[in-house]
Chain A
Amino acid sequence: MKEGFDKHHLLGIEKLSASEILFIIKTAEAMKEISYRKIKKVPTLRGKTVITFFYEPSTRTRTSFEIAAKRLSADTINISASTSSLVKGESLLDTAKNLQAMQPDVLVIRHPHAGAPHFLAKHIKAAVINAGDGMHEHPTQALLDAMSIMEKKGDIKGLEIAIIGDIAHSRVARSDILLFTKLGARVRIAGPLTLIPPYAETLGAKVCGCIEEALEGTDVVIALRVQRERLKQVLFPDLREYAIRFGLNKKRLSLTKRGAILMHPGPVNWGVELDPEIMDMDRTIILDQVTNGVAVRMAVLALVTG
């Protein structure tokens, strides 16, 4: 298998090979140690400019990218929709051209529309990293999820992984399913039918009729966030009913394999998709995911500029 990563952009998991995925994770594992040094900085990206451009609100991902870039000594600039010329009606194309004119090396973008990073990649020379595009992909999240699973389980191959909740609107679910199946895991998905996309099985996951079926004997459980804005649509009656019928609690998790781990891409609605009683369980590795997020983003930043 060819080792390495020679892509200029990271737009999604879809176009990555298993060996590229493993190489990124291996690089991230090496990067992780930097965050525990007394002086958390290496010169890898000295003299490089990284712009994070977030058209959607984000705390975790944006901060994670910024910390990652800074630990690699890059100069970082953060732009959000409210502070950009978007509010003046500038088009995405014009914004891209103007940013490119300032010669950045990397553009990290989050956008509410699927394919926005792909569009930018066609128009600018800087490396584009997709930090979440609409309901499409969120590749660095899937990479950090895989890294976190590998830390606990060693290998992804052969694992049974359940993803529970709003699959339809989740870019995390799409990237996770693509990545886990590329690495040889079996993925099951479950949630109310209103939140399962049509032809979900074409993503490579098995659609389960109920939460219990999806959890039975799994090694890994990933709960997804219930987006409150979905309440405006006719997708489920209310948060209370969701918590009762589809939320994860100790009882439901007892169906999983012994030693199964619980993950969540955050931010968690405690009391909705996750019962607070499982917050401090050993198997809950939500904060390890966040830690690994920095390492994965350091790796990706280093690789696309390398």
Chain B
Amino acid sequence: MNNSALITITDLVKRFPMGKREFTALSNINLTFNGGEFAGIIGPSGSGKTTLLNIIGSLDVPTEGKAVVLDNSVGNLNTRQSADLRNQYLGFIFQTYNLLAVYTVFENVELPLLLLKMAASERRKLVNQSLEWVGLTDKVNSRPAQLSGGECQRVSIARAMVKEPKIVLADEPTANLDAKNSHHILQTMEKLNADLGTTFIFATHDEKVIQYLKRKISLEDGQVVADEVKG
């Protein structure tokens, strides 16, 4: 594990308006994530896992406190800067895969590289490599509708990993998968973490995922109640 801090969260509070009142989703969060971690934010539904992940992914901003991701204070970034941060350094894996239905597997995985304005030959090389990592080289021309749930999530991992980001944020990646597929994709991510040193942060309450985590941060009612590192 690389001990330099990639993410530093200090006194973070997130509130959402709910009618005339406010709902506090996260309260007084202080966390640090180092390079190469395989960590998970765990807790029941409504505990604030996804909200915290969204702030780390600069898709949302803190109401109070600071979240510094790769030396960028998320609350101070303009839309262009936060888009650049996501584009260059972050990868996302979603519970419902979020693959573009009209694109082929190749085109879905290629999309982040297109946004990076990479040359076609380079794109092809990286997409093929990424699909090799997840074992889907035989499905390049398939469309998401032709794939199983497990395969879709593997495409989603390939898309997140294709640009070799510093951090991958996975929000309930196994929620829609059976046990066999869940283990398969978790093993794939574990291997990528080990081989490439990519930091993985999960938001999950799935026991199958939790057993793979090297660090477990437990959230309850928007507060960190435990932060354990596996022996």
Chains A and B come from one and the same complex: no
